[in-house]
Structure 1
Amino acid sequence: MNAFKSKTEFAQTSVFKLPHSFLNFDNFVSVMTRAHLDRAYWNTLLIIVAAVIGNVALGTMVAYVLGRFEFRLKKLIMGTYIALSFVPMITTQVATFTVVKNLHLYNTLWAAIVLNLGTSVLQLFIYLQFLRNIPRELDEAAMMEGASLFRIYRTIIFPLLTPATATIIIIKTINIYNDMFTPYLYMPAQKLTVVSTSLMNFSSERSTEWEMMSAAILMIMVPIIVLYLFFQKYVFAGIVNGAVK
């Protein structure tokens, strides 16, 4: 409701009161120009595509190794994933910032991409649960035909993990889309703004343009809500299957 109100109307009426007209799109036009929302959408899309592709590739490979092979450090690696999930991200930011700076990734899109490549424990458990439902006989038959381990992963394991991959893609996309901390800390340049940090154009230390903020939030919410509504069945299916562990 507030996204369609003028500055004067917002100041003089209750926030729960309907606007004079739902055809007032001035706020949305101003948001596109002042917040450079077109650039923010593009930067966000680049980060999501690059990070999700790398994340899925690494996640499926880690799950394949931990789910199909027995080796000495297997329990230690699994334990490390679980232990690190209890460490608050904020406590590691000094070390992370130093690494990003030394790799010359600061103030580039690569900072957000690289920081989102890692496999989380939730992602790992979802993949492992699906992997247990894939018969080992498929691997053995492929080996008898002379297929290498990587080819087995590429032609058998990865395609059969598609339902889990769809779940991971949606969860990861929403996480990156909503993340404000990483872009704000590692990509402060105006040209590297993303949808979350673009909201800062309408807020300062002394005041906030709430009618503009409302319009910006609405424009940012719509794409991810549409994505979720179309693919929510994959989210629930993947999480339920991965929750057994």
Structure 2
Amino acid sequence: MKKVSMKDVRPEKVAALEKRIREIYAEYRHLLPSDYRWEDESSRWNELVYCIFAELTGHNYRDARRLANYIADLNLLNVDDLAKIPIMDDGMVNPDNSRIRTITDILRSNGISEDDVKRSLSAICKVAQSISDNYDGKIQKFLRKYGEEIVNEFDSHVSFSEVSKGTQSRIIVKWIQNTLCMPLAFSNVYTARFCEKEDINYNELAAAADNIGLNGAVLDDLLEVYIVDIEGKQR
């Protein structure tokens, strides 16, 4: 699918597309496998928080994951919210912030020392600020940027004489999606047909998927099921 400049992204199209994708998801998700990795893109951020806890709290990995999941379930790990919390002159996060106080109480009650609490929460907020400043608060944009570089690098050195360049690129994207769980889009002809049907472009579809937090690989599969179904009904 041909990419276009971000200047060609139409906000009204993206907003309508978010609604349309949610409708398709509600109707067709049950037809897809149940075990997608990172189906909800926010889970990638939660995994990074877990990694910070695992390294900085002195807890074993199982307890660190339990803590990260518990705090995430309380809706306390939203990237945009954490990014807004001030970092003080000493490099530590503002301890008077209500969200920080709540997380601090949870960590303390689980036996984490005061110093480790401060280090962990400051690290999390600094990473959140970086993601917010550079990738609109969406960690999948960071991963997609480098995933696309992998695809382009591989594509430039490998040539399948049996298929067109577009088909070759879709094969490589699907492979990277499946092996590295990269949030790449879009790897099949059905996604291209959907874009034609909805009069949208690549960046508009990617923006809508990012806004609702849906992994591009899942969206690819979802749109394939949808297009096959509606085209079958039209015959």
Tell me if both proteins adopt one fold, taking TM over 0.5 as the criterion. Answer: no
Greater RCO (Cα-Cα under 8 Å, separation 6 or more): 1
Give the structure-2-normalised TM-score. 0.27
